[in-house]
Amino acid sequence: MPQKYTKTIMDTTFLPSDQPTMHRQEFFRLVGISIGAIVLKRCMIGCSDQVNGTPPPTPSQKVDFTLKLDDRANDNLKIKGGYVISNGVIVAQTKDGQYVAVSANCTHQNTQLVYKSVENQFYCPLHLSRFATNGDVIAGPAVVPLTQYIVEPNLTAGTIRIHN
């Protein structure tokens, strides 16, 4: 007796819909615009932080604040070569354990500086100006020195006072 097979056919056709469909090119164009907008926004946020940040005090402005070493935000100051930026001032502990402080923004176009302990210099990541720990310009394009501040560490009390 011949065996009967039943055959199931799956329907893979899509039902017509009233919803408009999007062509592949249009889809990728919109995805590309969205990704571009996200990248642009992140770049603008990053750049604005880098260029503007906390404005440094003007050279004639009175500066007097104290950092507490037991504050987690200041943990880097416990490390030789570490630094923090506070109140527009960059405070660093040099490789030999000295504390130094200068205005935190480059005098060329106001970019926030970093401290490079290997060279014992403050460094501008935008156009690569370099400054000594007393604020003097080592390499341009910046020509105006940074403002140097007096640093009074009180390691018994666990504080560092920065003032002018």
Residues that bind ligand FES (CB under 6 A): 106, 108-109, 111, 124, 126-127, 129, 141-142
User: What is the spatial distance between Cα 91 and Cα 107, in angstroms, rounded to a whole number?
Assistant: 17
Residue 141 CB-density burial (10 A; 0-12 exposed, 13-18 middle, 19+ buried): middle
Query: Which residue number, 93 or 111, has a Cβ lying nearer to ligand FES?
Result: 111
For the stretch 113-121, contacts whose Cβ atoms lie closer than 8 Å and that sit 24 or more positions apart, written own/partner, are 113/146, 114/83, 115/81, 115/83, 115/90, 117/80, 117/81, 117/82, 117/92, 118/81, 120/94, 120/95
Shortest distance (Å) from residue 138 CB to ligand FES: 12
When the beta carbons of 126 and 132 are compared against ligand FES, the nearer one is 126
Q: Please, what is the minimum distance in Å from the beta carbon of residue 109 to ligand FES?
A: 4
Tokens 């990541």 belong to which residue?
Answer: 125
DSSP conformation class of 63 = -
Identify which of residues 31 and 139 has a Cβ nearer to ligand FES in the complex. 139
The residue among 52 and 58 lying less far from ligand FES, judged by its C-beta, is 52
**Which of these, 89, 115, 123, 121, lies nearest to 103 by C-alpha position?**
89
Shortest Cβ 50–ligand FES spacing (Å): 9
Distance in Å, CB of 110 to ligand FES, minimum? 6
Q: Which two tokens stand for residue 116?
A: 């490079």
What's the rounded Cα separation, in Å, for the pair 76 and 86? 12
86/129 with CB nearer ligand FES: 129
Q: Minimum distance between the CB of residue 62 and ligand FES, rounded to whole angstroms? A: 25
